[in-house]
């Protein structure tokens, strides 16, 4: 973090703590509010403000969680990308419900998201895949994500193999790789306040509308 980013963090730190969250109102669009918070996290100089915890569960209810990067959001929901043969993808095939968490400690803010996932179209996955650095695209082909790797040299060898197979800038989308869209039915905003009297504002999806309610901290 450079000096300017540190200054931004200091200037931004107390704003939400002092002002808190607005009163619960169904007139407030939670996706718009999320966009404002995400933008504020970026301006505050936070490293990788798009970092999310993605929690999944198997068919028998055994949970697992990992850090990933949020790669987009709009009125449809939230997007992330992964290997469709990974553990998380297998669990999403068995149980298509997911929970996401974003935590911006310096702002004392947290967002919790719950919803159902579906795979993005091949066109959307291809568009994002082609925007990645070349090495990351080669890495997607080389990695058998979540499967046992006896020794690292095997992974490195596979990376060299695909680097030779696709020598130019165009590297096709692997058939086992792509994106997910999380369509939220619950979004909770948490704002830290003094004396641990924090603000929690929860939006619940009901048909085509959102219902807002305030929760005890």
Give the start-to-end residue ranges of the domains of the chain: 3-132+175-215
**pLDDT digits 0-9 by tens, 106-120:** 999 999 999 999 999
Q: Is the pLDDT of residue 4 over 90?
A: no
Provide the 3-class DSSP secondary structure of residue 216.
coil
Measured distance CA(72)–CA(88) in Å, rounded: 19
Is the model more confident about 37 or about 3?
37
Active site residues: 196
Alpha helices, DSSP H, located in the chain: 3-13, 15-19, 30-43, 87-94, 122-131, 134-142, 152-165
- With tokens 């692997």, the residue in question is 174
The full length of the chain comes to 217
Q: Is the pLDDT of residue 203 over 70?
A: yes
pTM metric for this prediction: 0.88
Q: Please say whether the structural domain 3-132+175-215 has been given the CATH code 2.60.40.420.
A: no
**pLDDT digits 0-9 by tens, 149-162:** 999 999 999 999 99
Q: Is the pLDDT of residue 12 over 70?
A: no
Q: For every residue of 196-210, which 3-state class applies, written as one string?
A: HCCEEEEEEEECCEE
**pLDDT digits 0-9 by tens, 78-102:** 999 999 999 999 999 999 999 999 9
Confirm if 41 and 115 have CB atoms less than 8 A apart. Answer: no
């Amino acid at each position: 973090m450079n000096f300017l980013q540190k200054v931004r963090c200091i200037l931004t730190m107390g704003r939400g703590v002092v002002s808190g969250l607005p009163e619960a109102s169904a007139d407030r669009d939670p996706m718009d509010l999320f966009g404002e918070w995400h933008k504020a996290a970026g301006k505050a100089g936070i490293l990788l403000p798009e970092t999310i915890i993605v929690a999944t569960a198997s068919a028998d209810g055994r949970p697992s969680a990992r850090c990933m990067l949020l790669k987009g959001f709009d009125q449809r929901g939230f997007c992330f990308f992964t290997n469709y043969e990974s553990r998380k993808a297998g669990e999403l095939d068995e149980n298509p419900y997911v929970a996401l968490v974003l935590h911006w400690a310096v702002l004392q803010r947290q967002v919790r998201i719950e919803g159902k996932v579906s795979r993005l179209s091949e066109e959307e996955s291809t568009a994002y895949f082609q925007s990645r650095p070349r090495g990351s695209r080669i890495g997607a082909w080389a990695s058998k994500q979540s499967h046992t790797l006896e020794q690292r040299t095997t992974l490195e060898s596979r990376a060299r193999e695909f680097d030779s197979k696709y020598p130019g800038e165009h590297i096709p989308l692997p058939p086992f790789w792509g994106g997910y869209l999380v369509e939220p039915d619950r979004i909770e905003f948490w704002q830290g306040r003094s004396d641990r009297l924090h603000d929690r504002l929860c939006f619940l999806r009901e048909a085509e509308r959102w219902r807002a309610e305030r929760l005890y901290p």
